[in-house]
Amino acid sequence: MDALNAKEQQEFQKLVEQKQMKDFMRLYSDLVSKCFTDCVNDFTSNKLTSKEEGCINKCAEKFLKHSERVGQRFQEQNQLMMQQLRR
């Protein structure tokens, strides 16, 4: 980033933020799709049953924990690669 001038740094930062937003929206969409498909079975009512609601809560929690863990591992691998490049 030091090799970029101020304008280039701003443009780069904007691209990074756009990618992060796109990734977040993809994650959210995948979460909704997976948990809805796995948990919602009764379409005779416009409300979730308690069983469906519990399933969705557990599904969302697992999905988010998994995504967080994958992100942490990716960050660890990225840091390791950066250290190896500096040597």
Q: Give the torsion sign (CA, 43, 49, 53, 59).
A: negative
What CATH architecture is 6-85?
A: Orthogonal Bundle (1.10)
Domain boundaries, the chain: 6-85
- To the nearest 10°, the Cα dihedral for 35, 63, 59, 48? -50
The string of pLDDT tens digits covering residues 1-51 is: 567 788 888 898 899 999 999 988 998 999 999 999 999 999 999 999 999
pTM of the entire structure?
0.65
The string of pLDDT tens digits covering residues 62-79 is: 998 998 999 899 899 888
